Amino acid sequence: MLFTLAYLYLCPMKILFATNNAHKIAEVAAVLGEGYTLLTPRDCGLTEEIPETQPTLEGNALQKARYLHERTGADCFADDTGLEVEALGGAPGVRSARYATDGHDFEANNRLLLRNLEGEENRRARFRTVVALILGGEEYLFEGIVEGRIIDRETGDEGFGYDPLFVPDGFDRTFAQMTAEEKNATSHRGRAVRKLADFLRTIEK
């Protein structure tokens, strides 16, 4: 652990991402590109689930980033994402991971979403990502939104979570029918992380 922390300080292009979600790591690494190496909590010897108990995406993103920063002292960032469905008053929103169960059961979440939208004509929805960055002890937030609609059955095998049910505006395919590059080009996370990357580039100059 000491070696990892020392290594972090010596290599400024390495940055800690407060997630254990492998899909997110792959998406964010692709957007940040070769200039950055992402490290995860596991790389710092932290294997526990990082708490996210706040009532907002902003609160959870900050909570996750602070949790990691307090334990490592390193610059780091976290992302919290929610699917906000218009006809459900913005649900599942901040509860997207635990919509159907206590765990991250993607299939159960998707089934419950379809059940709750049965017979509903308004299928408008959006993904919203908030990225919280802690850099040099200062906190920064970046937001990314993609508007779209929920279709009536799961379609596609790529991505994760609600991707098989979400068709972004301007497309006739779900995120789960897109390559990682296509999803990143329009997605909530892609948009938020590009803002993060632009900010990091201005700081480096």
What CA–CA distance (Å, rounded) separates 135 from 178? 33
Per CB under 6 A, which of residues 67..86 are in contact with ligand ITT?
A: 79-81
Site for ligand ITT in 110-149 (CB under 6 A): none
109 is an interface residue for ligand ITT by CB under 6 A: yes
Pair of tokens at residue 131: 């990225």
Among 32, 76, 97, 131, contact with ligand ITT (rule: CB under 6 A): 97
- Indicate which single residue of 4, 5, 21, 185 sits in contact with ligand ITT (rule: CB under 6 A): 21
Q: Does 106 bind ligand ITT (CB under 6 A)?
A: yes
Residues 165-194 that bind ligand ITT (CB under 6 A): 175, 187, 189
Nearest to 190 by CA among 23, 31, 17: 31
For the CA atoms of the chain, what is the radius of gyration?
17
Q: Identify the CA nearest to 73 among candidates 48, 34, 46.
A: 46
Of 16, 24, 133, 174, which one interacts with ligand ITT (CB under 6 A)? 24
Integer Cα distance of 177 and 98 in angstroms: 24
C-alpha distances in Å from residue 203, one per residue of 49, 63, 146, 167, 196 = 31, 23, 27, 35, 11
Return the active site residues: 80
Tokens of 42: 């596991």
29 to 68, contacts with ligand ITT by CB under 6 A?
52
- The residue within the footprint of ligand ITT, chosen from 16, 19, 31, 134 (CB under 6 A), is 19
| Shortest distance, position 10 Cβ to ligand ITT, whole Å | 26
Which secondary structure element, helix H or strand E, spans residue 182, and what is its range? helix 180-186
DSSP classification of residue 169:
T
Question: Contact 80/130 with Cβ under 8 angstroms?
Answer: yes
Out of 71, 100, 131, 163, point to the residue binding ligand ITT (CB under 6 A): 163
Q: Give the nearest residue (CB) to ligand ITT.
A: 161
The site for ligand ITT (CB under 6 A) is made up of 19-21, 24, 52, 79-81, 96-97, 104, 106, 109, 159-163, 175, 187, 189
